[in-house]
Chain A
């Protein structure tokens, strides 16, 4: 059983509480620049999208790391950093296709989501359900059911009375 952070950006209100609790949990400070999760925002379109490490199975950051500092932690299903090996070259920052690895400007080190060692604060505080920490194999079930429902509805249409 592997749990992962599952993002539904349509539910995101852009409040950035996830950023706050993340940086407080890890650094004891509120500072979005030191958060492992960030909200990308298109203000004039009303779009807000949480961006966080996807804990890739075949992670580009792991492949790109020249000192083998980044590695998979299969127990918690995450990518972790061995800071004893990390030389701060930031190759992983560039390699991540989601831009989910941050450079902490104060600590001068790369930071990315460590799932709070199994209890991610972002998901705990997000009441809208935009960020959920759930079993990966069930992550698609809600959407699957929703889509199936729509399909069912469209199939039933011909037998419904025409007038509405």
Chain B
């Protein structure tokens, strides 16, 4: 059955491999994926280890529904202590890797130590082999995968790999599968690189037995329709997340020129539809009917004719909005380069835009940039800086260190212009008009992050009864809820609820675009409970799944606190409070976040979490969730 996949402990220093079953008891407490990874990280990483040293532990996992009929259950989760933030490091990606990992017999990999020379793992039908990677070290993401397939003689192999950026330990290097599935944020690729681990190749032909096949087929069909019937999914299916750019930029909800403006104005606006003529059809992750990745070929310039996938909302934000550019080819080429180098789009765009503002302010000069004109709008400079960061050349070497370390190296008042939380760059969306979104990034476990707790549907102005229906289950909530996204009332509950929602799907292995993230009628705890039963036979109520999320989120918090996180870091940089938005529709113009009101939201949020006023879980909270004895070393 789907629950018989194993956990493997791999020590790269000694070359030993040990596989164990995962007890059902642990499944009921943590499911799998990010949930069980939170447990493993808290239990296996000693406090204060060097994130780029051999004592860090790299966790790779599949959600518990991955490879079953549950729609869009394709997600791979990777975790370790982050070399970027020093706190909880975590990334989650779609594609085909974790289904194949399950076909090969495994759900969780716990990778310790450091190999003496570059290696890759070859995992197939219950076997794990550590192989020499000297032939692929130095190669980009796609060439590495092709070379491994060739070496092992199987086209169907899926590999998770690092690119040049991971080898060079760029602190926001990604792990990647296929050509564009990106495990981004928090530098998991750098951790892989630090262990001399170039790739993990998987292939399997083992059954994933479905507990109730006939019911699973019918129920999955229903859940798929629930998602694909929504207009927002159909829009996603035409061009991907690019369509979000049009909607947010036109209102003034994007950060441009680092944090100086909040819209690309009409004269240089870049419209998602412009990409259409360069795309041909859409690509999907495993089992997904939304298919949100556009296939494209770069139309001209140095990379003319190169195929890649995706340009996302974040690609326009990072390579057009933030550096103040408007060239399509630059966005397409930059997206290709970060994919092949294996780097985080948001962080790269954020660091380059920051450097551009420093250059504008005279904090960085031509001497620092090696003669490169880092003016806003210089498209060639964006491309050049991507190369330099990945290869750690010149200024790129400094920017590769991430927001806080780079600001320390550059000095002066450069930190003033950094847009980060806990040392991780923020998404290019402008959250000043929307307190719920601002609270989400201020408190997210992995730093400024929109995929951990963002109530994105807050921007939809949903009527209060609809909000009550969504946010009033599976635990009752009677407090305030407000339709207006500029309001502060009730937003702390929405963020708290959304945090459990996303942890639930990250543990199940389902994509967030199949949740309340995108639409109010999307699958929810009720549906996941049924999908879990029909597919795996595991009987868990919506409330049980909620409690899994609570438990895992609590462990992520405990991990962060153990690494020295303080309440002061659940906060935003000054520009959110001091510089009003300048552009956009009247509702958005002139907005800042109010410090006192944000403090109040954070206090409420801590209250819902069962944390004390310093953001530390109370003993009774831990007891209620069965976490009072952690680390318990059960797995």
Contacts and interface: CB of A to CB of B under 8 A. Distances in A.
A13 B286 CA distance: 10
A34 B378 CA distance: 53
Contacts of A15: 284-289, 291
B216 A24 contact: yes
B402 interface: no
A85 interface: no
A14 B69 contact: no
A17 B291 CA distance: 12
Interface string A10-24: 110111110011001
Contacts of A43: 142, 145, 178-179
B224 A125 contact: yes
Interface stretch (A44-52, A56-64, A138-146, A153-161): A44-52
A11 B281 contact: yes
B507 interface: no
Interface residues of B, number: 37
Given A21-B69, A43-B178, A27 B146 contact: no
A46 B296 CA distance: 8
Interface string A86-129: 00000000000000000001100000000000000100110110
B397 to A, nearest CB: 30
Contacts of A24: 69, 210, 213, 216-217
A46 B284 contact: no
Contacts of A65: none
A29 B210 contact: yes
B224 A127 contact: yes
A44 B284 CA distance: 14
A20 B224 contact: no
A25 interface: yes
A95 to B, nearest CB: 22
Nearest to A127: B289
A76 interface: no
A20 B142 CA distance: 26
Contacts, number: 89
A94 B69 CA distance: 31
B283 A14 contact: yes
B307 A44 contact: yes
B142 A44 contact: yes
B67 interface: yes
B284 A20 contact: no
Given A24-B210, A28-B210, A31-B208, A46 B286 contact: no
A102 B209 CA distance: 20
A28 B213 contact: yes
Nearest to B279: A46
Contacts of A27: 207
A48 B284 CA distance: 10
Contact of A25 (B68, B96, B217, B283): B217
Interface in B271-294: 280-289, 291
Contact of B283 (A30, A46, A125): A46
B582 interface: no
Nearest to A27: B207
A132 to B, nearest CB: 15
Nearest to B158: A43
Contacts of A17: 287-289
Interface of B: 67-69, 96, 103, 142, 145-146, 155, 178-179, 205-210, 213, 216-217, 221, 224, 228, 280-289, 291, 295, 307, 309
Q: 3 tightest A-B contacts by CB? A: A15-B284, A33-B205, A13-B284
Given A13-B281, A30-B210, A127-B228, 6 more contacts: A14-B284, A15-B287, A28-B209, A30-B69, A31-B206, A32-B205
30 contacts: A13-B281, A13-B282, A13-B283, A13-B284, A13-B288, A14-B284, A15-B285, A15-B289, A16-B287, A17-B288, A24-B210, A25-B213, A28-B210, A30-B67, A31-B103, A31-B206, A31-B207, A32-B103, A34-B207, A43-B142, A43-B178, A43-B179, A44-B179, A46-B283, A46-B307, A106-B205, A106-B207, A125-B289, A127-B224, A127-B228
Interface of A: 10-11, 13-17, 20-21, 24-25, 27-34, 41, 43-46, 48, 105-106, 121, 124-125, 127-128
